[in-house]
Amino acid sequence: MTMDTLQELYLEQLQDIYDAEKQLTKALPKMAKTATNDELKAAFEQHLEQTEEHVSRLERIFEELGEKPKGKKCKAMQGLIEEGKEMMEEDASEEVMDAGLIGAAQKVEHYEIATYGTLRTYAEMLGFDDQADLLQETLDEEKDTDENLTELAVSCVNLEAEEGEDEEDEGEEEEGGKSEEKGQPVKGRK
Ligand code: FE
Ligand code: FE
């Protein structure tokens, strides 16, 4: 594909994030199912609903551009989801798994934040003000999700992960040789 104009680049990036969002609609239910913490489960479920809305906003943009909604394989999202899957296959304690899921989800959010920020700017430069507004709405939701995940990591999940470690240190209730697999408590930083 030749790409001589900003509009062609804009379209190509829209196709990339369209595919990324669709990949995410398939991954989020698995993450919600794997999460133990109720608030985290709810956060993944809520973000699934938002993600479906992100897909339809992109479809509106394609329509305005007179283009068919079409995805172009987003290798970055594929890789991020693949890493998330590897995490879910780990034999981790519930709390550590939740912390790992949060980390994986935040990497996804940061990729989306970067992409939507770029797309919003392209839309502004191209004079597509309505499209810029739609992209900004999605960008804001991705940022809110990211912040919410940080709060969850700090407020409940990682705290529980650390408590799990403490219990072991005190020698209370050793759960069937799982101690070495628990690893370090994860701090909610990014
Ligand atoms: Fe999204
Ligand atoms: Fe997202």
Q: How far is the CA of 48 from the CAs of 3, 43, 59, 178, in angstroms?
A: 33, 9, 17, 32
- Asked whether the beta carbons of 123 and 135 are under 8 A apart, the reply is yes
**Helix 38-64 / helix 129-152 crossing angle, nearest 10 deg:** 170
**Integer CA distances (angstroms), 129 to 96, 108, 188, in order:** 43, 26, 36
- In the numeric block, which tokens belong to residue 179? 């101690």
Would residue 21 count as lying in a domain? yes
Instruction: Give residue 45's pLDDT.
Output: 98
- Helix then strand then coil, in percent of the chain rounded to 5, is 80, 0, 20
**Chain segment 106-163, per-residue pLDDT in tens:** 999 999 999 999 999 999 999 999 999 999 999 999 999 999 999 999 887 766 666 6
- The alpha carbon of 147 and the centre of ligand 2 are apart by a number of angstroms equal to 12
pLDDT above 50 (res 188)? no
Residue 125 lies in a domain: yes
Q: How far is the CA of 47 from the centre of ligand 2 (A)?
A: 7
What's the domain range around 28? 6-166
**Average pLDDT for 85-91:** 94
For the cut 70, the answer to whether the pLDDT of residue 4 exceeds it is yes
Q: What is the mean pLDDT of the chain?
A: 88
State the total domains in the chain.
1
Gap between the Cα atoms of 53 and 143, Å rounded: 15
Q: What is the CA radius of gyration of the chain?
A: 19
Task: Please write the tens of the pLDDT for every residue from 5-52.
Answer: 999 999 999 999 999 999 999 999 999 999 999 999 999 999 999 999
Q: Tell me, in angstroms, the distance from the centre of ligand 2 to residue 155's CA.
A: 21
Distance 46 CA to ligand 1 centre (A): 11
Q: What CATH number is associated with residue 52?
A: 1.20.1260.10
Q: Does residue 185 lie in a domain region?
A: no
1 lies in some domain: no
38 assigned to some structural domain: yes
Ligand minimally distant from the alpha carbon of residue 55 = 1
pTM above 0.85, yes or no: no
Domain assignment present for 175: no
Is residue 188 in some structural domain? no
Cβ atoms of 104 and 157 within 8 Å: the answer is no
Residue 189 lies in a domain: no
